[in-house]
């Protein structure tokens, strides 16, 4: 606990250029960026620095997914002439490794904040009049921080479903899955978005029988339909059952453990359709996250909150209360850590009187670490057509890519969506959608092409190294010029 601010009843509060409430990526990103600009910054965190991403999201999930990847590699070692005993999973060791990584990264954030001279307060921050923040702590009582500006970054929490109250063993959210000490035998994952697909992939790799129940017509909403269909097929090959267009209605616990999940298919939101069920040992509810302004005291301020709980903010992350900003999962933008970082920089730049470029939310990069991986930026073919574009597309599969064959991971494809010019040729790149080996690391050049509004010809002229996975992007782009080499 910082000792710089004294109890508000005995001394005037210490004034800061910026007071940040919330220590996740958006919050600590704003604190670091403001500190780098020479601002006097205070950061208030009620739990642990790093927020959901570091402790109950991105980082621990990817460590467990890497455990699954190592399992796959060892299991397939004989393909390369490397003969090993059948692998055995000690999930406790993976969990210990996960925690070491998380703790090490948290220590790193603490060190960065110290070097930027950010004062960290442990406690619950509540916004009051005149841009003051009351910090309540069980250890040090109440303190008041005065801010020339305040940035709200309180994050989000998992959404639960009626009738599926979590109990950490039978019904879980992402929080509980990441703390498992053993892998359940049969699992129903409710929700086929990014998080649901990652959990389904990880649990299936580690031996679980997995069923994904998704309300929408495809898994990973937002990605191009061709990619979603390819991922569904890839999941099916691995034994993951994917059911789309279904509505979960409840579950009935079984004597001796497990439960039966009921759902309907082929119906409407009113509940008609064919009734079915699946018997499982555990249920993972992965239907998204809601903003978490609950402890910010916003009802007594001028900050507006919409009917879904999101803080209302403009393109520069300014709220309806002068001098107060909101970023990250607290506002209605893509719930991605890198989006939170970007919003934090926009807000601080606005505070400094600069002219920040607003975040282009339609073109942010998405990375999903299931197997096969999925990554995309920009418009899908359907979204481009809906937006009024005349489009031309190109698809190439990893099955013919030499590097993919070498690493024995050929499932997947690259699809590029471009605007069709009046003469019929491919013009501006509108979207890049990928599924396959390490596409989360390959998306960079596609993201740049979309956001720099590059044309197909401009990107196709760039030289791709060989043999690499990334040259499939170049080949897919080159084919749109009408003069592809390998397809």
Helix %, strand %, coil % for the chain, to 5? 35, 25, 40
Residue ranges and CATH numbers for the domains of the chain are 14-56+94-157+290-362 (3.50.50.60), 171-287 (3.50.50.60), 372-479 (3.30.390.30)
Task: Provide the pLDDT for residue 270.
Answer: 58
C-alpha dist (Å) from residue 96 to 64, 90, 182, 206: 11, 10, 13, 17
Identify the H or E element spanning 201: helix 194-205
Q: How many CB atoms neighbour CB 243 within 10 A?
A: 17
Distance of CA 343 to the CA centre of its chain: 15
3-state class (DSSP) for residue 73:
helix
The pLDDT value recorded for residue 323 is: 97
Tokens of 89: 């999973």
pLDDT at site 7: 43
What pLDDT, on the 0 to 100 scale, is given for residue 138? 82
Query: Dihedral angle at the C-alpha atoms of 171, 173, 174, 178, nearest 10 degrees?
Result: -40
Q: pLDDT tens track of the chain, all 487 residues? A: 454 444 444 467 889 999 999 999 999 999 999 999 999 999 999 999 999 999 999 999 999 999 999 999 999 999 999 999 888 999 999 999 999 999 999 999 999 999 999 999 999 999 998 899 999 988 878 899 999 999 999 999 999 999 998 887 899 999 999 999 899 999 999 999 999 999 999 999 999 999 999 999 999 999 999 999 999 999 999 999 999 999 999 999 999 899 999 999 875 555 577 899 999 999 999 999 999 999 999 999 999 999 999 999 999 999 999 999 999 999 999 999 999 999 999 999 999 999 999 999 999 999 999 999 999 999 999 999 999 999 999 999 999 999 999 999 999 999 999 999 999 999 999 999 999 999 999 999 999 999 999 999 999 999 999 999 999 999 999 999 988 787 6
- 396 given a catalytic annotation: no
Cβ(40)–Cβ(17) below 8 Å: yes
Q: What is the pLDDT of residue 8?
A: 41
- From the candidates 149, 338, 466, 486, which is the catalytic residue? 466
Please report the pLDDT score of residue 61 as a whole number. Answer: 95
Half-sphere exposure (CA, 13 Å, Cβ side) for 100?
A: 6
- Compute how many other C-beta atoms are within 10 angstroms of the C-beta atom of residue 191: 24
How confident is the model over 12-41, as pLDDT tens digits?
788 999 999 999 999 999 999 999 999 999
């Amino acid at each position: 606990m910082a000792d710089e601010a004294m109890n508000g009843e005995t001394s005037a509060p210490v004034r800061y250029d910026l007071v940040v409430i919330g220590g996740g990526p958006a919050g600590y990103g704003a604190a670091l960026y403001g500190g780098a600009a020479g601002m006097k910054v205070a950061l208030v965190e009620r739990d642990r620095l790093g927020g959901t991403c570091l402790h109950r999201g991105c980082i621990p999930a990817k460590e467990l997914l890497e455990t699954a990847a190592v399992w796959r590699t060892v299991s397939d070692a004989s393909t390369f002439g490397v003969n090993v005993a059948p692998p055995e999973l000690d999930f406790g060791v993976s969990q210990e490794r996960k925690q070491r990584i998380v703790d090490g990264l948290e220590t790193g954030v603490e060190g960065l904040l110290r070097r930027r001279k950010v004062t960290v307060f442990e406690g619950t921050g509540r916004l009051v009049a005149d841009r003051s923040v009351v910090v309540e702590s069980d250890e040090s009582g109440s303190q008041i921080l005065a801010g020339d500006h305040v940035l709200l970054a309180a994050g989000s929490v998992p959404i639960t479903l009626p009738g599926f109250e979590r109990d950490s063993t039978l019904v879980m959210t992402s929080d509980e899955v990441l703390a498992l000490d053993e892998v359940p035998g049969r699992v129903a994952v409710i929700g086929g978005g990014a998080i649901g697909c990652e959990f389904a992939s990880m649990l299936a790799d580690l031996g679980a029988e997995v069923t994904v129940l998704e309300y929408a017509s495809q898994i990973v909403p937002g990605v191009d339909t061709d990619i979603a269909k390819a991922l569904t097929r890839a999941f099916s090959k691995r034994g993951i059952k994917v059911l789309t267009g279904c509505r979960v209605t409840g579950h009935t616990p079984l004597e001796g453990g497990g439960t039966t999940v009921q759902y309907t298919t082929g119906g409407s939101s009113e509940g008609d359709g064919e009734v079915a069920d699946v018997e499982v040992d555990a249920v993972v509810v992965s239907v998204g996250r809601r903003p978490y302004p609950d402890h910010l005291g916003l009802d007594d301020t001028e900050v507006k909150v919409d009917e879904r709980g999101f803080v209302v903010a403009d393109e520069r992350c300014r709220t309806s209360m002068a001098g107060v900003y909101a970023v990250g999962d607290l506002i209605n933008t893509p719930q991605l850590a890198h989006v939170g970082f970007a919003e934090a920089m926009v807000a601080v730049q606005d505070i400094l009187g600069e002219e920040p470029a607003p975040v282009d939310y339609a073109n942010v990069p998405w990375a999903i670490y299931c197997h096969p991986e999925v990554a995309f930026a920009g418009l899908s073919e359907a979204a481009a057509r809906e937006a009024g574009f005349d489009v031309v597309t190109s698809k190439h599969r990893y099955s013919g890519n030499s590097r993919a064959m070498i690493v024995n991971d050929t499932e997947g494809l690259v699809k590029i969506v471009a605007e069709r010019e009046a003469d019929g040729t491919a013009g501006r790149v509108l979207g890049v959608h990928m599924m396959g080996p390490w596409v989360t690391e390959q998306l960079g050049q596609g993201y740049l092409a979309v956001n720099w509004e590059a044309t197909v010809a401009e990107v196709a002229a760039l030289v791709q190294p060989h043999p690499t996975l990334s040259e499939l992007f170049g080949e897919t782009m080159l084919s749109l010029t009408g003069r592809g080499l390998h397809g």
